[in-house]
Structure 1
């Protein structure tokens, strides 16, 4: 597959808003459903995203496969922090190398003086948490709402990891639990301050998420 990327022209946001939300809703309704209707959730999201993207420092990357929108990535740069706010990829494009191609493209778009990378992950989204940990980010707290974990790492470490590693987003299936947990244990050997243990309760929580 051949992918290409482009920054969203903010003046054209209204034209693509529904397409973006369909991808977001399709992914998140399986992980953390809100209980609302599609229309209700869209109205809430629209109320947030339209003013948010008016801020100059916040950008959205459209990920395209031919003429089809395969996903999008929203980020914010504030002082020396690269905030990965949202990445949503349609299921049929997960595991195709799209994630790695995105970061290759982003390489010269992020200012060189950016030091840290941060992200939030919904507490129910164990797959996202596993990806962030593989990228070298560690959990440092929670969001104000308490619905998400807050992750942080060194931006240089992220780029170095992506340059050295053939990284793709794959479906996190139940048969990969042991592999992911082994990776988490190796991370803890390097940095012990994680705030939670890989105990029987944690493993059951991971297994029950499938």
Structure 2
């Protein structure tokens, strides 16, 4: 799954370069962003390795700060663009009581960096530009040590959905607010000291604010 996701990102990266080379010029921009990750949960938990075939309750995730940056281009200053969007957050796993045994399971640190390539569609207004987008992402995740888990990492494939509004305060500088929805699959094969691990579906909603420079 990770290989498929990275291949998809490479194809979009090539497309970014080809579109920017079209006659008529292009509008490029760079941006910084920060906000909140309203993480949902890791669900459909399945055992891997020696635990293959086993299941577990969903893992609730904590809300977390999110920060990152992006670079994008609108070929010919048109309505369709491509954007490389990278942001990081730490939606740690919450502690819970095992519903089958009553055992208290402590939480664990979780960090996720989303590196996505998205196709954007905007209304190219001079002052206000609403936009929406869709794309694929590499989800670079790291699970920390805890009393029940050991450090492990994964690069999974995810999907991004985006909706936002950009407002120009000068001809070259804009502020924006943006909603992002991410869904993907994470696999931590070496998460447990006894061997084996788990996989789960990751869902998160992000609300960010940022500033961009267009040239």
Flag whether TM exceeds 0.5 (same fold). Answer: no
Which is greater in Rg? 2
Greater helix percent: which structure? 1
Greater strand percent: which structure? 2
Q: TM-score, normalised by structure 2?
A: 0.22
